Structure 1
Amino acid sequence: METPQLLSLLLSRRIIAVGDLHGDLDQARSALEMAGVLSSDGQDLWIGGETVLIQLGDILDRGEDEIAILSLLRSLDMQAKAKGGALFQVNGNHETMNVEGDFRYVDYGAFDECTDFLEYMNDFKDEWEEALVGWVAVSERWKEVRKMSSSYWGPWNLVKRQKGVIARSILFRPGGPLACELARHAVVLKVNDWVFCHGGLLPHHVIYGIEKMNKEVSCWMRGLIESDVNPKIPFIATRGYDSVVWNRLYSRDISDLEDYQVNQVHSILEETLQTIGAKAMVVGHTPQTVGINCKYNCSIWRIDVGMSRGVHNSRPEVLEIVDNKARVIRSKQDNYSELQAVEYT
């Protein structure tokens, strides 16, 4: 399946960007409800109409409901399409780490969820989409049954831990069911004058090619080897401090930088945006203690607020873009922040 990368939408279409979720289903639901795309009645229904929802990666690690969030987003994706809307996900560094087999940041409960999900899949045979979409509705019940089991010893059950690691390896290895699910998504997504990625896009990424990077990551995750694609891990997108999913250049606190460094970063950002033909970039990856904010004449928006309980357990926030105007939605009562309302012409 081709991964989306360059989209042209009517400027009047409402875009919602959501940052890192890190396995916290409750906070994910809160953010989506606050954004007006998820029903608040517990039915997990899409109420966003023609809204375009973009999630910026790092669904995995640090929390125990990762697959449930993937399930919820896949369900909303299907519902949104039926209502004229759309949902896109962008892979982050924690997605690529897990496909590489790097489980350093996996929560104990997330290993258990992998074990449960692998067993749950047995009832669906080849009906992968049905299995994934249905998981969010039953995952809590599976969790409760597991914890009531006489053999449940929590994180100290070494046999259970080993089963969890094996289950996760099966699900996330290149070509595995969840790796193939992640392969549906891009590492860079451009919508009209906006570019969305997890860490940050640099000039040499654009020169290398957005479509090429997305294709390489997708093929690697699916375990495919094609004659025109390097089957090895796509370094430029997923490995190294300046790769697309790891880059923090635009997310550093400006107060920590000298004036000349601020000017350098701004210049790099402007060159990147000019090369790709965009007016602004939206990134996650680096928790912002002050909430969603924009810097460098608002040509970069940083939207990771550390909302997961496994990070900072911060109040959820999302970015809304309508008619090339960006604003921060912080709560149901305070629908947007006047201080962060910016118009792009």
Structure 2
Amino acid sequence: MLKLKAILAVSLMPLAAFAQQYADGPYVYYKGDSAIVKTIFQREDLRSVETKTYPKDKTPALQTGGFSVQLKQDIKIQSSISPKADKVFILSDIEGEFDAGKQLLLAAGVIDPQFNWTFGKGNLVIAGDLFDRGVAVMPWLWLLYSLEDKAAAAGGAVHVVLGNHDVMQLSGDFRYTDASYFKNAWLMGRDMRTVFATDTELGRWLRSKNVMEQIGDLLVMHAGLSPDLLRKGWSLERINETVRPALGTPRKQLPDSMQVFFDSRAPFWYRGYFMDPAASMAVVDSTLQFYNCKKIIVGHTITDTTIVTKYNGKVIGVDVDQHEGHHQGLLIEGEKYYVIDNTGRRKPLE
């Protein structure tokens, strides 16, 4: 019997080696009243696309990254201002590193191993850069997409704020996009510029997101508020609603009046909190006073392998270079701030 089992095991090895495995997706496109779902699979070195078509209002749960996703009946614009939460967990710059993001959410108690929301009435905040560099962008997008509804059902919330790489992806700037995504787009019969267009589920979802938000007394954006943009004296809602319609437009095609929202002075590009020409303390104080906040939370600029504070603790930088293997998030419980890593170890923010 043992000999027979050994023979069977050896004989089945080639079949296992040739098994089809998930590689990317699913991508959901709409055409008329139909939802077209495309998923990329890989067998050895060959990739292929599986296409399924459903009635738009009867699309079954989608499978990706070890969890299922039910499409939303309606995608709503995220509010620019939200009330304070008793606990908040903030990440940025995951950039397609799904496993890193997942482990941090597990470590902070935001989700359980089955991807259920376990953060109660807490808020999860993603301070930009879902895309580029990594090769597991889609599971990360779908996880955040699905957690929104799970969080809301528990009285919590998920806030996804757009970063420069997200805006680049929507506007057709693919300088940092992994080559595999170009191949996948070709397999699906799509130009890269249309993979997240307005006829796609995730394209619509991404365009519902803001570039700046106030959550209680926290002002959250991907990069920072430049003096030029501050001088405009615009509300968060006005900034977000000005940027949103232009998200799919290459910056060079935007009029001069829009450049401050998309160039190096933009909330998802500005580096003045960490690099020269540096923002003054007066600019930081004026920003906080104008928006009635106590802290500014940003990602974008890697300053260290740990979360850092600047301007006497008024600015917190949470980009620790997740892509290079440094995994941390900012956990806020009441008035206490902690740095937490992917093993669950926490220490007070210094």
Q: What is the TM-score of this pair, normalised by structure 2?
A: 0.70
C-alpha separation in 2, matches of 1:168 and 1:177:
15
Name the counterpart of 2:273. Answer: 250
C-alpha separation in 1, matches of 2:148 and 2:184:
22
1:318 corresponds to which of 305, 329, 343: 329
1:21 is the counterpart of 2:94:
yes
1:337 is the counterpart of 2:347:
yes
1:33 CA drift (Å): 1.0
Name the SS for the 1:190 alignment partner. strand
1:332 CA drift (Å): 3.4
Cα deviation 1:285-309 (Å, max 9, x = unaligned): 012323101111100000011112x
Quick check: 1:330–1:337 contact (8 Å CA) kept in 2? no
Q: Which has the higher contact order (CA 8 A, sep 6+)?
A: 1
C-alpha separation in 1, matches of 2:286 and 2:344:
38
1:327 is the counterpart of 2:338:
yes
The aligned amino acid for 1:61 is D
1:220 CA drift (Å): 2.9
Name the counterpart of 2:137. Answer: 66
Name the counterpart of 1:172. Answer: 196
Quick check: 1:21–1:307 contact (8 Å CA) kept in 2? yes
C-alpha separation in 1, matches of 2:227 and 2:83:
22
Q: 1:80 to 1:92 in 2, by over 3 A?
A: same
1:62 CA drift (Å): 0.5
1:186 is the counterpart of 2:217:
no
1:91 CA drift (Å): 0.3
1:18 CA drift (Å): 0.7
The aligned amino acid for 2:209 is H
Correspondence list, 1:276-291, <5 A: 276-291=291-306
The aligned amino acid for 1:188 is M
1:52 is the counterpart of 2:119:
no
C-alpha separation in 1, matches of 2:294 and 2:139:
34
Report how many aligned residue pairs link the two structures: 269
Name the counterpart of 1:36. Answer: 109
Name the SS for the 2:280 alignment partner. helix
Q: CA RMSD in A?
A: 2.5
The aligned amino acid for 1:240 is D
C-alpha separation in 2, matches of 1:233 and 1:99:
20
Quick check: 2:95–2:133 contact (8 Å CA) kept in 1? yes
Name the counterpart of 2:31. Answer: none
Quick check: 1:287–1:306 contact (8 Å CA) kept in 2? yes
Correspondence list, 1:226-241, <5 A: 234-237=258-261, 239-241=262-264
Name the SS for the 1:201 alignment partner. coil
1:90 corresponds to which of 135, 158, 161: 161
C-alpha separation in 1, matches of 2:160 and 2:321:
18
Name the counterpart of 1:208. Answer: 234
Deviates more, 1:325-334 or 1:185-194: 325-334
C-alpha separation in 1, matches of 2:332 and 2:144:
20
1:232 CA drift (Å): 9.6
Q: 1:232 to 1:5 in 2, by over 3 A?
A: farther
Name the counterpart of 1:125. Answer: none
Q: 1:24 to 1:250 in 2, by over 3 A?
A: same
Q: 1:70 to 1:114 in 2, by over 3 A?
A: farther
Name the SS for the 2:343 alignment partner. coil
Name the SS for the 2:133 alignment partner. coil
Q: 1:233 to 1:107 in 2, by over 3 A?
A: farther
The aligned amino acid for 1:216 is T
1:7 is the counterpart of 2:85:
no
C-alpha separation in 2, matches of 1:77 and 1:63:
23
1:2 CA drift (Å): 2.9
Q: 1:249 to 1:14 in 2, by over 3 A?
A: same
Quick check: 1:171–1:178 contact (8 Å CA) kept in 2? no
The aligned amino acid for 2:94 is L
Quick check: 1:182–1:221 contact (8 Å CA) kept in 2? no
Q: 1:111 to 1:35 in 2, by over 3 A?
A: farther
Please, which runs of 5 or more residues in structure 2 have no aligned partner? 1-75
Quick check: 2:221–2:297 contact (8 Å CA) kept in 1? yes
Q: What is the TM-score of this pair, normalised by structure 1?
A: 0.71
Quick check: 2:305–2:321 contact (8 Å CA) kept in 1? no
1:246 CA drift (Å): 0.3
Q: 1:108 to 1:274 in 2, by over 3 A?
A: same
C-alpha separation in 2, matches of 1:179 and 1:81:
21
1:21 CA drift (Å): 0.6
